[in-house]
Structure 1
């Protein structure tokens, strides 16, 4: 803003200029437009909550805002995300290089300061910050769950009781949720034609990529689409067997990948109910839901060495911080990563000494 200008509505004009300047700073860092928009929305919400302008904010406002967020039911990670966005804005407007202190002193007699500090911001409370019911399963827990799925199919089939086909369907459904990192609705709405080959991974045949057409929508927007690449050969084989040999037994002319006996789709509620039944049979905690399979997928991919950005795109996350909430790598993974780093360091040091 130019010196000497007389502003008709100084508060609103300066606030708008601050936000515009902050957005420009973030664009210069090549941040995604969606990231910038969300951060701006958070700052505007804080303005509304405090009913005051940023140059008059105080640390007490942070504590009142945080308390409001917590009482409104916001998750620990969400509160931290909000605080971080507002903290970045305060860092920008209090940086003397941008001269907002001069503008505010001239028009309002005060200057903006950083109000977010280590002592009034939430911290990482544990390695895993998602809701307890969504925690990733260990590989042993996951194997026990899938073993029960398969055992149930065999037991129902051997008994001659009705339900073998549904048991087979549910077992394959849970494997697909895990192996492609899907939400309940995403899995429920799949069709048989959503699978395609991936020229870069021909070993998976026609099941090299999955088109997810009913991804989680942004507020007020349509369902988001994404393509999830296949990473597990055993899962592609399970889907192939289901589609080509088992599913035709339903004698349905619908495209739904998971049909019912009445030619409808298996719904999200049914998925949760069946998961709870299997979970209890295996002895897992009762707060776990089917979404933990999606979290397990993200964690296990990272443990297997997949790039963090690849995992983020597979899950359809706009923000890498969301993916971080999903994951909780195990001690073995951490120790292996440490061992690889130390091995490279000592190998390099030995080579230098020899030279």
Structure 2
């Protein structure tokens, strides 16, 4: 019997029941924690990711939760930082998942401490505290090298992507279709300031007309259905208005002329299909982006998310209202949008020049009044 009088179900491995009380208890803990998180309305993906963290820690230290210590946790966190070289934000996320699990198994309400004491003579404790947890002290935790494309770099990158299509066609390679798709993915990610998964999850039906922008035709608005969610919440939706005049041409050509070469079925709606599945994968996009960047000799500080940073930056430089830009990219706070803005020195110079000119123009009249 488990806490609360519930029967602890013995796990099944390779078709046989495992009668290891320690493993049984550990699996029952995870089951109970999963139910608690489901009751809180957390997303299935969040719950699954947290469970994997707990299993990884258990595998690393080869100890059960009722004998975990802060020393064991410190050793794992050190290994993640020194040998795995995980990002600051990743380490904090790992620590958060482990802390949540420890909160659950040490909460008297769920009875696991008493159960473990009765079974194993010891009980679980909290192994992640303020003493050994990463502090969240700044809004932007990306590496300092991460930045937006300059206009020239972006043009070179997109031109290079287009050249891969022509090269494959000239050599008679089958890869021209995938190269064409990847080039369009990068253009659309920039066109709407989309995150990687947001552009990957677009369907052909996720576009509509904008009555205030008839020149864009059927592609005046992009309906993003898989936006970045708040922790534990479902994906956020938003509508992004088309702003660049070439975007609708790129989409129309891709959807009506090129995408049919993948021979999608009547129910296949993915805007960017894959040769092996319904839609393109994130790892493939990352590899292609990195290869193009390497071939052009561009900075490692440019990644696929830089297309989103560039969108924000270029809109600001083009004179778009900051609130409009914030709504386009789906940021809750203007301060978040400002972190994405990497305006060029030329833009800063032009802005300063306009401000000084305006001041100087007003100066004579001010002196006359005096």
> How would you bin the TM-score normalised by the shorter chain?
0.5 to 0.7
Q: 1:331 aligns with which of 345, 351, 364?
A: 345
Per-residue CA distance 1:106-155 (angstroms, 9 max, x = gap): xxxxxxxxxxxxxxxx899xxx9743463101111111111100111111
User: Offset at 1:185?
Assistant: 0.5
Q: Say which of 313, 317, 331 aligns to 1:299.
A: 313
Please give the residue correspondences for 1:29-48 in structure 2 after superposition, counting only pairs within 5 Å.
Answer: none
Structure-1 residue corresponding to 2:65: none
1:165 to 162, 168, 177: 177
Other structure's SS at 1:192 match? coil
* Deviation for aligned residue 1:228: 0.8
- Is contact 2:147-2:301 (8 Å) kept? no
1:194 aligns with 2:229: no
Name the CA shift for 1:73/1:285 in 2 (closer, same or farther; >3 Å).
closer
2:165 corresponds to: 153
- Structure 1 counterpart of 2:193: 181
CA distance in 2, matches of 1:287, 1:281: 15
Q: Are the counterparts in 2 of residues 129 and 325 from structure 1 also a CA contact under 8 Å?
A: no
Whole-angstrom distance in 1 between the partners of 2:315 and 2:351: 14
In the superposition, relative to structure 1, how do residues 123 and 207 fare at CA in structure 2: closer, same or farther (>3 Å)? closer
Aligned match of 2:356: 342
Distance in 2 between residues matched to 1:123 and 1:182, nearest whole Å:
23
Q: How many Å separate the matches in 1 of 2:87 and 2:165? A: 40
Once the two structures are TM-superposed, the CA of residue 219 in structure 1 deviates from its matched residue by 0.5
In structure 2, do the counterparts of structure 1 residues 206 and 174 end up closer, same or farther at CA, with 3 Å as the change threshold?
same
- Give the direction of change, closer, same or farther, for the CA distance of 1:350–1:249 in structure 2 (3 Å limit): farther
- Measured in 1, the distance between the counterparts of 2:321 and 2:142 equals 21
Which piece of structure 1 moves more, 246-255 or 214-223? Answer: 246-255
Structure 2 partner of 1:215: 227
User: In 2, Cα distance between the equivalents of 1:153 and 1:234?
Assistant: 19
Question: Match for residue 314 of structure 1?
Answer: 328
Deviations 1:175-230 (A, max 9, x none): 01111111110011000110111111111111111000000010110000011111
Gaps of 5+ in 1: 1-70, 79-121
- For residue 134 of structure 1, give the secondary structure of its aligned residue in structure 2: coil
Give the Cα–Cα distance (whole angstroms) in 2 for the partners of residues 282 and 231 of structure 1: 27
Offset at 1:335? 1.2
Q: Do the aligned partners of residues 288 and 335 (structure 1) sit closer, same or farther apart at CA in structure 2, a change above 3 Å counting? A: closer
RMSD between superposed Cα atoms in Å: 2.6
Q: CA deviation at 1:252?
A: 0.3
User: Separation in 2 of the partners of 1:332 and 1:229?
Assistant: 27
Q: Structure 1 residue 248: deviation in Å? A: 1.4
Q: 1:269 and 1:191, CA in 2 relative to 1: closer, same or farther beyond 3 A?
A: same
CA distance in 1, matches of 2:308, 2:335: 16
Report the count of equivalent residues.
Answer: 238
Q: Does the 8 Å CA contact 2:209/2:217 hold for their aligned counterparts? A: yes
C-alpha distance in 2, partners of 1:286/1:352? Answer: 51
Task: Give the alignment's TM-score, normalised by structure 1.
Answer: 0.62
Could you tell me which residue of structure 2 aligns to residue 10 of structure 1?
A: none
User: Pairwise mapping of residues 1-355 of structure 1 onto structure 2 (< 5 A)?
Assistant: 74=88, 130-132=142-144, 134-253=146-265, 254-350=268-364
SS of residue in 1 equivalent to 2:285 = helix
Q: Secondary structure at the match of 1:242?
A: helix
For residues 216 and 365 of structure 2, the distance between their equivalents in structure 1, rounded to whole angstroms, comes to 41
Offset of residue 325 of structure 1? 1.2
CA–CA distance in structure 2, aligned partners of residues 200 and 281 of structure 1: 41
Structure 2 unaligned spans of 5+ = 1-80, 93-136
Kept after mapping to 1: 8 A contact 2:88/2:141: no
Question: d(CA) in 2 for partners of 1:132 and 1:352?
Answer: 44
Aligned counterparts of 1:144 and 1:166: Cα–Cα separation in 2: 19
Return the TM-score normalized by structure 2: 0.60
Cα distance in 2 for residues equivalent to 1:207 and 1:230: 7
